[in-house]
Structure 1
């Protein structure tokens, strides 16, 4: 068995409705799925985004595994076309810097990450490999 591809990224929020609205504004699209919790408030919402319609879900933090609710762990980086503009927009929307824009070598790989207003790390990057794979998967 091997990892076949990114399937779903889950983020946590105390206020799923507020997090969904924030991400809808950032992404420029509405969540396509909503599941209410027993109290009627949104417990889970999901977006499909990007070239491969990747799933990004927002789950009510009350369903999170036990442990501190602090940013950390693995960071998933999304390829973006304009890294500087994306980071500026995220910061203007209330995210805070987690890792500044950081080049990695001289081949065009550049990363940055922010902490969204709900405590999740969101990574963004310029990734030449992603663009190569994307261009090779499109019909000529």
Structure 2
């Protein structure tokens, strides 16, 4: 059965710009590059967070047929220690609001943005996540 996220893929028309944007946001360079047509790079992959989850950036030319152009669908939420601060930073970097900062009680706070490349990026403070890491 499902055991945890292995890779989250985001698509971008300009995968080089997406790589630069995410490298600035994450404070690390991608550890892997995949070749595309004509000597270009079609894929960049970062390993980030407590579990080194993979975030893949893929040239939109390689997107599955029928992938909607507009943001939508499931929202994957990355745990952050400060939702407000992270949200403010994302917005300052050119992301657009998608869902507002919402406090659910019991230690859960969420928000999401659309990155400059049309992908939905969710952020969340999650007490359960910290309990599982033994950091609470």
Question: Could you tell me how far apart the structure 1 residues matched to 2:31 and 2:12 are?
Answer: 18
1:45 corresponds to which residue?
Answer: 44
TM-score (norm 2): 0.95
Describe the SS at the equivalent of 2:38. coil
Instruction: Please report the RMSD computed on the Cα atoms of aligned residues, expressed in angstroms.
Output: 1.0
Runs (5+) with no aligned partner, structure 1: none
Describe the SS at the equivalent of 1:88. helix
1:17-36 to structure 2, matched below 5 A, reads 17-36=16-35
Aligned length: 134
Describe the SS at the equivalent of 2:4. coil
1:93 corresponds to which residue?
Answer: 93
Runs (5+) with no aligned partner, structure 2: none
Could you list the runs of 4 or more consecutive aligned residues of structure 1 that deviate by over 6 angstroms after TM superposition?
A: none
Q: Tell me how far 1:66 sits from its aligned partner.
A: 2.2
Q: Tell me how far 1:42 sits from its aligned partner.
A: 1.4
TM-score (norm 1): 0.93
Question: Could you tell me how far apart the structure 2 residues matched to 1:40 and 1:108 are?
Answer: 47
2:76 corresponds to which residue?
Answer: 76
Question: Could you tell me how far apart the structure 2 residues matched to 1:82 and 1:102 are?
Answer: 13
